[in-house]
DNA sequence: ATCAATGGTGCCATATTTTGGCACCATAGC
DNA sequence: GCTATGGTGCCAAAATATGGCACCATTGAT
């Protein structure tokens, strides 16, 4: 298109369109121009940028998802996804980036344990991530309802110490003060999670043995 | 904080700050106010929205990553990630959404084949996704350099028919006209991909057998 | 060589939008 | 009742965007 055509289309003057083009170039759009008779404007489609607005927790969820995928060695087209990730992370306020790092420090990934029963694999409670965010970062106790493999439901009150992924199952690794030992809880079996103001200290969690690596970032 | 304090901090008038607060509320920020002596403003931290600008191909890469993760049954905190995904998809121009769907139609995921040698697992060529986008959506031939398991390098010219994920390895499934059969190419062994204008017809690809499902969306 | 069609820039008056100040209202605590 | 707070309507002033004009550079057609 020529500048005059664009101006007619949007109902602005030639001068304004030229100014807008200059502004768009400053914003990163790549617009080729050909002067002279038969010339005009060409917008590089690859340079089109779309604007997305996220809440902080959404960025958090996306980053954790993709980081986990990377840790599983399963991130395709990584340099492009990386660029997107970098933008996501840059969008987070700096204190939230610190939180994210600390959260990822608690995240471990391993191979699937072959003997796990997947027939009843459910979805996680939507409140789980916000609850984890508080529980892990503030070292607060977590109280929840847990349905074990046999179907019996109990109420637990534990110290969240780590998260363990044995794809496709996610586990909460927590110190159970009642039983004085670590326990693994399948996240899809947790309901009604809530944090308790009381604080605890972090314990040393040694994941099973080999075959488990930490989802680290930078 | 009080409005007067905010005004002093940002160097604007009380009136302007009040106008800006009203605008922020229109944008979805949740700001509680307490009138009367000792009152002031309180910003709900959960309502903070950050603005991120993506190129179309970055959105594409992120969506493919997360969709694949979902197909692998490995998407944690899904309702929150979903909200982020929905925003990402909404940010795509509608013709690109159609492209994305068609691209995902070509994507299959299965269990890891246990006998694969992962010692030389490399990273994909950054040009691979843009090349795939053209090759799969325009049904164009793909030409590339391929280094096989023995290390010998050949040049190929094939019809891209599907992508197969056997985590953590990604394969291009393509019809090789020279050999008159389907061939599987590990994506991390592909270099210098480029599309050729010639078109081909889609062939019926039947992935191995069971254990492989399609990464479908909606 | 000349001419017309194109992008591009500088300048300035005009149009539009934003800002600041003021008066005033409602509410809550002292 | 007084004071400190958020909130609104109004209007003039300040800031910004727009449109018009003159003019330059480049390119292709005549």
| B169 or A136, which is more confident | A136
What pLDDT score does A21 carry? 96
Top-confidence range, A71-85, A176-190, B163-177: A176-190
The secondary structure of B163-214 as a DSSP string is EEEETTEEEEEEEETTTTEEEEEEGGGEEEEEEEEEE--------SBTBEEE
Quick check: A218 pLDDT over 50?
no
In whole angstroms, give the CA distance from residue A57 to residue B80. Answer: 7
What's the residue count for chain A?
A: 218
Tens digit of each residue's pLDDT (9 = 90 or more) over B82-129: 778 888 888 888 888 888 888 888 888 777 666 777 777 777 888 888
What residues of chain B lie within 8 A of the CB of A189, using their CB?
none
Residue the block writes with tokens 């159970």: A176
* Contact (CB<8Å) A80/B45: no
Q: Which residue is closest to D17 in terms of CA–C1' distance?
A: A16
Protein residue closest via CA to C1' of D6: B35
**Four-way CATH pick for B109-214: 1.10.10, 3.30.420, 2.30.30, 2.40.50:** 2.30.30
Q: Which residues contact B2 (CB under 8 A, 6 or more apart)?
A: B39, B40, B41
- Does A212 have pLDDT greater than 70? no
User: What pLDDT sits at residue B214?
Assistant: 66
**Nearest residue to C18 (CA, C1')?**
B16
Select the more confidently predicted residue: A85 or B210. A85
Name the DSSP class of B216.
-
Contact A181, A206 (CB under 8 A): no
Boundaries of every domain in chain B: 3-47, 56-104, 109-214
**Torsions phi, psi for A181 (to 5 deg):** -160, 165
* pLDDT tier, B213 (very low <50, low <70, confident <90, very high otherwise): low
C-alpha to C-alpha distances, B102 to A11, A46, B96, B105, B106, nearest whole angstrom: 37, 19, 10, 5, 7
The alpha-carbon gap from A142 to the nearest alpha carbon of chain B, in Å, equals: 17
Nearest chain A Cα to B187, which residue? A76
* Separation between Cα atoms, residue A39 and residue A48, nearest integer Å: 22
Query: Is the pLDDT reported for residue A195 higher than 90?
Result: yes
CA distance A75 to chain B (A): 6
pLDDT in tens, B132-151: 988 999 999 999 999 988 88
Report in angstroms the alpha-carbon separations of B127 from B132, B136, B144: 9, 14, 11
Helices A56-71 & B78-91, crossing angle to 10 degrees?
Answer: 100
Q: How far is CA B165 from the centre of its chain?
A: 15
Render pLDDT for B140-182 as a digit per residue (tens, 0 to 9): 999 999 998 888 999 999 999 988 888 778 889 999 988 888 8
Q: Would you call A170 and B76 a contact, using CB atoms and an 8 Å cutoff? A: yes
Residue A48 (CA) to nucleotide D25 (C1'), in angstroms, measures: 29
| Cβ <8 Å between A52 and B57 | no
Compare A66 and A204 and report the one with higher pLDDT.
A66
* The pLDDT of residue B74: 61
pLDDT band for position B76 (cuts 50, 70, 90): low
Residues 6+ apart with CB under 8 A from A118: A168, A169
| pLDDT surpasses 70 at A83 | yes
Tell me: cis bond preceding B134? Omega within 30 of 0 counts.
no
Under the banding of pLDDT at 50, 70 and 90, the label for residue B205 is low
Give chain D positions with protein CB within 7 A: 3-10, 18-22, 25-29
Out of A52, A57, A76, name the one closest to residue B54 (CB): A52
Q: Which nucleotides of C are covered by protein (CB under 7 A)?
A: 4-11, 19-23, 26-30
For range A183-197, the mean pLDDT? 91
Tokens at residue B139, please? Answer: 């049904």
Share of chain A above pLDDT 70, in %: 88
Alpha-carbon gap, residue B212 to B162, rounded angstroms = 13
| B218 pLDDT tier (thresholds 50, 70, 90) | very low
Nearest CA in chain A to B76: A65
Interval B6-21: pLDDT, tens: 999 999 999 999 999 9
């Amino acid at each position: 298109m020529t500048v005059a055509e664009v101006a007619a289309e949007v109902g602005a003057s030639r001068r304004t369109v030229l100014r807008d083009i200059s502004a768009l170039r400053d914003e990163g759009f790549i617009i080729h121009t050909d002067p002279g008779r038969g010339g005009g404007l060409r917008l590089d489609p690859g340079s089109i940028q779309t604007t997305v607005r996220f809440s902080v927790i959404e960025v958090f969820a996306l980053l954790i998802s993709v980081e986990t995928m990377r840790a599983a060695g399963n991130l395709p087209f990584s340099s492009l996804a990386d660029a997107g990730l970098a933008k996501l992370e840059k969008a987070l306020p700096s204190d939230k980036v610190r939180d994210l790092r600390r959260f990822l420090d608690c995240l471990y990934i391993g191979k699937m344990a072959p003997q796990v029963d997947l027939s009843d694999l459910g979805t996680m409670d939507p409140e789980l991530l916000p609850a984890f965010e508080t529980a892990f970062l503030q070292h607060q106790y977590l109280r929840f309802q847990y349905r074990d493999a046999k179907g019996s439901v109990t109420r637990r009150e534990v110290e969240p110490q780590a998260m363990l992924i044995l794809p496709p199952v996610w586990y909460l690794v927590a110190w159970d003060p009642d039983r004085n030992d670590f326990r693994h809880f399948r996240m899809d079996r947790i309901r009604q999670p809530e944090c308790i103001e009381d604080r605890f200290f972090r314990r040393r969690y040694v994941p099973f043995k080999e075959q488990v690596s930490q989802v680290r970032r930078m």
